[in-house]
Amino acid sequence: MRLFQNSGVHSSYLERLNQLSPRDSGFAARRRQLLNDRFGALHFLKPVLDGDCEAFFTNGDDRILQQAWAREHGVRGGNLADILLAQIEDHRTEIFYNTDPTRYDSSFVRRLPGCVRKTICWRAIPSDSVDLSAYGMVVCNFDSILECWRRKGCKVGYFFPAVDPEMGAYGSSERTIDILFVGSYSRHHLSRATVLESVAALGRDRNVVYSLDTSRMTRLAETIPGGFIPQLRKLRRPKAIKDIARTPTFGRDLYRLIGDAKIVLNGAIDIAGNDRGNMRCFEAMGCGALLLSDDGIYPEGMKDGDTMFTYKSPDQAAELALRILAKKIDGSIVAARGRKMVGDRYNKTLQWERFVEIISLI
pLDDT tens string 244-280:
989 999 999 999 999 999 999 999 776 667 899 999 9
pLDDT value, residue 214:
78
Same domain, residue pair 156 and 181: no
State whether 200 and 245 are in the same domain.
yes
Identify the bridge partners of residue 57 per DSSP, sorted by sequence position: 5
pLDDT confidence band for 26 (50 / 70 / 90):
very high
Confidence band, pLDDT 50/70/90 cuts, at residue 125: confident
Query: What local confidence, expressed as pLDDT, does residue 341 receive?
Result: 98
Would you state the pLDDT for residue 270?
Answer: 60
Q: Which domain holds residue 172?
A: 165-345
- In this structure, the answer to whether residues 245 and 136 fall within a common structural domain is no
320 pLDDT more than 90: yes
Judgement on whether residues 57 and 175 belong to the same structural domain of the protein: no
Can you give the pLDDT at residue 240? Answer: 86
> pLDDT band at 189, cuts 50/70/90?
low
- pLDDT, one tens digit per residue, over 265-318 is 999 776 667 899 999 999 999 999 999 999 999 999 999 999 999 999 999 999
Supply the CATH number for residue 35's domain: 3.40.50
Asked if 68 and 31 count as a contact pair (C-beta separation under 8 A), the reply is no
With cut-offs at 50, 70 and 90, classify the pLDDT of residue 356. very high
pLDDT (mean) for 140-146: 94
Task: Examine the domain organization and report whether 196 and 81 are in the same domain.
Answer: no
Give the pLDDT score at 191: 77
SS (H, E, C) the chain: CCEEEEECCCHHHHHHHHHHCCHHHCHHHHHHHHHHHCCCHHHCCHHHHHCCCCEEEEECCCHHHHHHHHHHCCCCCCCHHHHHHHHHHHHCCCEEEECCCCCCCHHHHCCCCCCCCEEEEECCCCCCCCCCCCCCEEEECCHHHHHHHHHCCCCEEECCCCCCHHHHHCCCCCCCEEEEEEEEECHHHHHHHHHHHHHHHHHHCCCEEEEEEECHHHHHHCCCCHHHCHHHHCCCCCHHHHHHEECCCCHHHHHHHHHCEEEEECCCCCCCCCECCCHHHHHHHHCCCEEEEECCECCCCCCECCCEEEECCHHHHHHHHHHHHCCCCCHHHHHHHHHHHHHHHCCHHHHHHHHHHHHHHC
CATH number of the domain at 205, please.
Answer: 3.40.50.2000
Does 203 lie in the same domain as 293?
yes
Quick one: 171 and 87 in the same domain?
no
Torsions phi, psi for 346 (to 5 deg): -130, 55
Residue 358 above 70 pLDDT? yes
Residue 133 has pLDDT above 90, yes or no: yes
Give the pLDDT of residue 143. 93
Mean pLDDT is lowest, of 171-185, 223-237, 305-319, for: 223-237
pLDDT in tens, 56-79: 999 999 999 999 999 999 998 889
pLDDT the model gives residue 227:
55
Q: What is the mean pLDDT of the chain?
A: 93
Of 74-88, 146-160, 182-196, 220-234, the one with minimum mean pLDDT is 220-234
Say what the pLDDT of residue 97 is: 99
Predicted local distance difference test score (pLDDT) of residue 231: 66
Q: Are residues 121 and 175 in the same domain?
A: no
pLDDT of residue 225: 67
**Cα–Cα distance measured from residue 312 to residue 290, given in angstroms and rounded to the nearest whole number:** 17
Query: Same structural domain for residues 180 and 253?
Result: yes
* Interval 143-172 mean pLDDT: 96
Query: Do 205 and 298 reside in the same domain of the chain?
Result: yes
Closest CA to 250 of 258, 242, 241, 262: 258
Residue 186 pLDDT exceeds 90: no
Residues 74 and 204 grouped into a single domain:
no
Q: Using alpha carbons only, what angle is made at residue 81 by residues 76 and 84, rounded to the nearest 5 degrees?
A: 75
How many domains are there within the chain? Answer: 2
